[in-house]
């Protein structure tokens, strides 16, 4: 694989010290480990090699692999989730939690100043919270497989659509010569519009010869029947839109 290649990978990652699996693309493994994720699709995921979408050590490993190849690799903290940062362990007043009706029990995850942390201890009106990622400072082991290397334009486009848009909200995408068009009714477009710029960037980077990505929003008379205009000129649709 080379930097910029579009591929799909399957992997399972575990903590070397405890042997606990913390991430996987395999549905059977996930079920066995009691993992759940809302609307998550288990199975191989598409990535662009060298784009920083995965851990640095895995990205580097992929660049020496071939389609169909499987490797096991142990990553030091610096190439995985980083070293532990003592400055991310903070002592906060208990009153900050009680006024927000939060019970800071040791081991629970709390949100403080828009940061997620794990409560380590509660003592003397103070709460010690660790804002380091759980796997910071730990060695991790991954078994990773390059499932597929997408080289044809159609396969690349299908993979990028899967990558960019939720499975339950995919637009219609057409590829004609050097133009790729994304089409969706207003109901769907309002849900996926944040994903469109990222999708367009990936398409232009990956699919050779693409000169333009066109975005088309489809309207029907029924849509306008459910449209409301505010005094400032802005519009919105009923909740179903």
Residue of higher predicted confidence among 240 and 134? 134
* Rounded distance between C-alpha atoms, residue 175 and residue 223, angstroms: 27
Contact 77, 136 (CB under 8 A): yes
Q: What is the mean pLDDT of residues 122-149?
A: 93
Give me the pLDDT at residue 158, please.
Answer: 92
pLDDT at 233 over 70: no
Residue of higher predicted confidence among 202 and 240? 202
Q: What is the pTM for the complete model shown?
A: 0.77
Contact 1, 7 (CB under 8 A): yes
Give me the pLDDT at residue 241, please.
Answer: 41
Q: Are strands 212-218 and 179-185 parallel, antiparallel or unpaired?
A: parallel
Give me the pLDDT at residue 190, please.
Answer: 83
CA angle 88, 142, 36 (to 5 degrees): 75
Q: pLDDT tens digits for 176-207?
A: 989 999 998 888 888 888 899 999 999 999 99
Helix axes 153-164 and 196-206, enclosed angle (nearest 10): 150
* Rounded distance between C-alpha atoms, residue 196 and residue 203, angstroms: 10
201's enclosing H/E stretch is helix 196-206
- Which of these, 51, 57, 58, lies nearest to 9 by C-alpha position? 58
Give me the pLDDT at residue 73, please.
Answer: 95
> Would you tell me how many other CB atoms lie within 10 Å of the CB of residue 114?
5
Contact 207, 180 (CB under 8 A): yes
Average pLDDT over all residues of the chain: 88
Confidence category of residue 239, pLDDT binned at 50, 70, 90: low
* Rounded distance between C-alpha atoms, residue 212 and residue 215, angstroms: 10
């Amino acid at each position: 694989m080379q930097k910029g290649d579009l591929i799909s990978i399957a992997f399972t990652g575990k903590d070397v010290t405890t042997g606990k699996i913390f991430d996987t693309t395999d549905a059977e493994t996930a079920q066995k480990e009691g993992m759940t994720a809302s609307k998550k699709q288990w199975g191989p995921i598409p990535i662009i090699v060298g784009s920083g979408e995965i851990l640095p050590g895995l990205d580097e490993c992929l660049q020496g692999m071939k389609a169909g190849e499987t490797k096991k690799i142990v990553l030091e903290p610096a190439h995985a989730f980083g070293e532990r940062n003592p400055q991310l362990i903070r002592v906060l007043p208990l009153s900050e939690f009680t006024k927000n009706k939060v019970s800071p029990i040791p081991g629970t995850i709390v949100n403080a100043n828009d940061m997620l942390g794990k409560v380590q201890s509660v003592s003397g009106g103070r709460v010690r919270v660790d804002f380091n990622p759980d796997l910071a400072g730990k060695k991790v082991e991954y078994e990773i497989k390059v499932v597929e290397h997408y080289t044809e334009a159609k396969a690349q486009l299908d993979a990028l659509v899967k990558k960019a848009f939720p499975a339950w909200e995919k637009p219609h995408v057409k590829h004609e010569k050097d133009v790729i068009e994304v089409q969706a009714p207003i109901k769907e477009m309002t849900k996926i519009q944040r994903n469109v710029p990222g999708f367009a960037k990936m398409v232009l980077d990956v699919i050779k010869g693409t000169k333009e990505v066109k975005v088309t929003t489809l309207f029907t008379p029924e849509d306008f029947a459910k449209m409301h205009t505010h005094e400032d000129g802005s519009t919105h649709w009923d909740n179903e839109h």
